[in-house]
Amino acid sequence: MKFGVDYYPEHCAEEHWKWDSEKMKEAGIDVVRMAEFAWAKMEPSEGRYDFEWLDEAIEILGQKGIKTVLGTPTPTPPIWIIEQNPEILPINLQGQRMGFGGRHHNCQSNEIYRNHIRRFVRVMAKHYKDNPHVIGWQTDNEFGNSHQQLCACDSCRTRFHQWLEQKYGTIDTLNDAWGTVFWSQTYSRFDQIPAPLPTPNSHNPSLLLDWKRFCSDLIVDFQKLQIDILREECPEHFITHNFMGFFDKTDYFKLAKDLDFISHDQYPMHFRDLRIPRTTPSHLSMALDLMRGTKQQAFWIMEQLAGPTGWEVISSTPRPGQIRLWTYQSIAHGADTIVYFRWDTCLVGTEQYWHGIIPHSRIPGRRYAEIKQTIQELAPHMEKFRNSLPEAEVGILFSYDQEWALQIQPHHPDLNYIEHLRSYYKAFFDANVPVDIVSDEEDYSRYKVLVVPLLFLTHPELSKKLYDYVSSGGHLVLSMRTGVKDWNNAVIPKTLPGEFSELLGITIEDYDCLRQFGQGLRWIAETATTEEDVRIWSDIITLNGAETLAEYNQDFYANTPGITRNTYKQGLAYYVGTELGPDMMRLFIEELLRGSGVSGMVASPEGVEITRRRGQDGDYMFVINHNSTEVGLAIPEEWNALVGTEYLQGTILKLPSYGVALFSCPLDTESPLIKPI
């Protein structure tokens, strides 16, 4: 499977299905995802099943050679389920029970609801296990979406107690770990522990962190319930789930474990209304790299933007070329299959303006043409890099536990764990250096450089792994707030950076949250001194073997170290005591890459991404112009243009706005320096 669409035959009259299948076929579509919200259509009342319509749709598509992935429709329990047992409706962290009328209106621990799932998923699986056009399953839809803070009902609270008992064994262990002695919160039984509903002040930070972990594990468990049935009934089918990049309600590393491969929903124009919009090229590519990293494996895009998106408010329309561009970007970073959301555009309901390829009028327009062109130019090459990956020499550690702990206590109102990571990521991205996003369970030995920002919570195994990594010659970067806490969110009574003092050759006896007072850094590692403001936080560092790369330039700790480097056994350990601006970060990453032997940075004009995907027989270079203007590049002679020949004049590539090109080049070619012209 290479290219697909999300398809909702139930949203239009049956008379359209045949035409749909023909136009899909014409565009090169070979797979659809269906049915993940269609429970009420498949089971209109309890025990009365109706799969005929879906069978018919699958058959029509199958006739055209289009395969089907089925979604379990568990994000939308029908009204007849809710009506019988309104306690299935979830309760948010303000203590308010959510109503029927949207989606995801289900508590995930409720046993009555789970029984409905057990019954229905088994019936559905049995029905489709032998259908020759059905190839796999998607569980539910976007776990964690719309569940921002659900559910705090009695059933969930009871599960939380069980989860805590399993983790801590005895209530005394929990009391010690959480430090409930503070503010007289000592418990004598697990069932006394509250869900984090409103109090006159703040909850215990250890409780809050465990609650977030519990909610994440509950989702994993809720998925497992379905997977177990599907594996039993449909052993030949794959199982996947559509993730959402840096959404963080569930630990995707854990959720991925039970899946054959993961999928991702990529909406490059959509997440602009977040406090920090996730729409820049580096945001998009970092999300793709995380998706690849959840299993260190190629993945599907299960929903790739195909038009303007939005519910009550709507995004801009994608500029001509952008849908194609984002398709290339997804593939460059490890997607093997691209499924566009969605085929047509729904006339009714909340997503009337979440535009599909085909507009409301059902008359194919420029987006259909662009996607058709994209498929036709890309499809012939897709097999060559199937299941291959970019081969990164740089890893950046991402941890849901750190993300949650720093959401609970951000220290500075503007501290954002993901953006802090991205400040590193972007410097590599701008230099076109491939990066893996890795979990704390990964083997790091393959990386020349490992960046571990904000390692706030620590545990002995991870500490040891990082010591071993450097000992064996790795170049490690740690940053501010490293080593502060144990894994239960209690502070470790050591001088900072705690466990990592020896590795880093420094101590930190004071620190400054940058609120009333500002701060800056002066780069001193070279003759040219660059100075730039820093933000959020400054560690005040005492050298204990390390050397200084940059020093603060203001206030009472002016001229003390802000960035340090320490030689430890075979490796180097860097420490960055603050959040860097872009200039300082660029200097730092250049220094880091120079020292580490990571293969040469590839210079490209601003806004032009060059991403390599290593195929079985050579490298594939994706050249992607994120700019709205034409940009020229000199291309190495040994590169062979597969897509974009029309933009080439000799070795000069003139990419139009949002233009892309694809090259092949011999395996293990040293990446040459591409210069802007």
Residues annotated as catalytic are 142, 303
Enumerate the H helices of 68-204 as residue ranges. 79-84, 111-128, 154-168, 171-178
User: Measured in whole angstroms, how far is the alpha carbon of residue 54 from the centre of its chain?
Assistant: 32
d(CA 643, CA 637): 16
Query: Which residue's CB is nearer to a copy of itself, number 364 or number 618?
Result: 364
Compute CA distances 122 → 228, 230, 243, 649, whole Å: 10, 7, 23, 59
Distances in Å between the Cα of 212 and the Cα atoms of 218, 538, 633 are 10, 28, 47
Query: Does the protein bind a copy of itself through residue 279 (CB under 8 A)?
Result: yes
Residue 40 interacts with a copy of itself (CB under 8 A): yes or no? yes
Rounded least distance, CB 595 to a copy of itself, Å: 31
Residue 656 binds to a copy of itself (criterion: CB under 8 A): no
Residue pair 428/386 in contact by the 8 Å Cβ criterion: no
287-316 positions binding a copy of itself, by CB under 8 A: 308, 310-316
575 or 639: whose CB is closer to a copy of itself? Answer: 575
How far apart CA 500 and CA 406 sit, in angstroms, is: 19
Confirm if 256 and 210 have CB atoms less than 8 A apart.
no
Per rule CB under 8 A, is residue 207 in the interface with a copy of itself? yes
Question: Taking the complex as a whole, how short is the minimal distance between the CB of residue 648 and a copy of itself, in angstroms?
Answer: 23
Among 4, 196, 245, 474, binds a copy of itself (CB under 8 A): 196
Distance of closest approach, residue 514 Cβ to a copy of itself, in angstroms:
7
Residue with Cβ nearer a copy of itself (12 or 291) = 12
Provide the minimum distance between the beta carbon of 641 and a copy of itself in the complex, in angstroms, as a whole number: 25
Determine, following the binding rule CB under 8 A, whether residue 183 of this chain makes contact with a copy of itself. Answer: yes
Report the site for a copy of itself in 117-146 (rule: CB under 8 A). Answer: 146
**By CB under 8 A, what part of segment 554-593 binds a copy of itself?**
555-556
- Residue 655 Cβ, how far from a copy of itself at the closest point, in Å? 16
Judged by CB under 8 A, how many residues of this single chain contact a copy of itself?
Answer: 114
Count Cβ atoms below 10 Å from residue 51 Cβ, excluding itself: 18
CB nearer a copy of itself, residue 79 or residue 667? 79
- Contact with a copy of itself (CB under 8 A): which of 23, 33, 105, 333? 105
The answer to whether the CB of 551 falls within 8 A of the CB of 559 is yes
Q: 24 phi and psi, to 5 degrees?
A: -65, -50
User: Given the rule CB under 8 A, which of 96-104, 295-303, 328-336, 460-468 is the region that contacts a copy of itself?
Assistant: 96-104
Judged by CB under 8 A, the residue of 118, 122, 224, 272 near a copy of itself is 272
Q: Order of strands, edge to edge, in the sheet holding 506-513? A: 506-513, 535-543, 578-579
CA distance 43 to 507: 64
Nearest partner of 564 among 482, 653, 465, 444, judged by Cα: 482
Positions 405 through 444 that interact with a copy of itself (CB under 8 A): 408-413
The one among 126, 517, 597, 629 contacting a copy of itself by CB under 8 A: 517
Tokens in use for 628? 């709205």
Query: By CB under 8 A, what part of segment 324-383 binds a copy of itself?
Result: 345-353, 359-363, 365-366
Q: Which of 510, 617 has the CB closer to a copy of itself? A: 510
The mark string for 487-516 relative to a copy of itself (x by CB under 8 A, - otherwise) is ---xxxxxxx------------xxxxxxxx
553 vs 86, 412, 522, 556, CA distance in Å? 61, 21, 6, 9
- Amino acid at position 375, single letter: I
Residue 48 within binding range of a copy of itself, rule CB under 8 A: no
Distance in angstroms (rounded) separating the CA atoms of residues 391 and 384: 15
